[in-house]
Structure 1
Amino acid sequence: MFHEKGANPLTLENKEELLAHLEKLLESLKFGSITLVVQDGKIVQIEKNEKVRLQSNKNR
């Protein structure tokens, strides 16, 4: 994995925690996206956006 000069690489414990969060989000997500927010070379936030599709009026 490539790291910018001055960026702190993830520790094994942090990687495992990040992967556990991502797995949980992916298992619960049917349609949508997951965004990782990076600040100073570190992941500081995970955002989950879920899409809910409604049936069109002609199918109701």
Structure 2
Amino acid sequence: MLTLSKGTQGQEKKDLQEQLELAILSALKDLRFGSVEIIVHDSKVVQIERKEKVRLESGYSHSFK
């Protein structure tokens, strides 16, 4: 869990912010269709969810026999 609170000082706060930015950018990397959700509880980022959608071409069909 990455916690950015008022008591976090200087370099420690900067390091946490960089880790959070990298985690968000990683979740966004190569995402074509979908969403990234950042869950915050008590001013703390507790979870980052990535949901990716796969778009099938309109002419695609498959038989499941």
Q: TM-score when scaled to structure 2? A: 0.67
Any stretches of 5+ residues in structure 2 without a counterpart? 61-65
In the other structure, the counterpart of 1:36 is 38
In the other structure, the counterpart of 1:25 is 27
Moved beyond 2 Å, runs of 4+:
none
Q: Which has the larger radius of gyration?
A: 2
In the other structure, the counterpart of 1:12 is 14
Residue 24 of structure 1 aligns to a residue whose secondary structure is helix
String of CA shifts for 1:2-59, please: whole Å, max 9, x gaps.
xxxxx81572111100111111221221111000000111111000010111123xx2
Residue 28 of structure 2 aligns to a residue whose secondary structure is helix
Any stretches of 5+ residues in structure 1 without a counterpart? 1-6
* RMSD, aligned α-carbons: 1.9
Structure richer in helix, relative to its length: 1
Equivalent residue pairs, number: 52
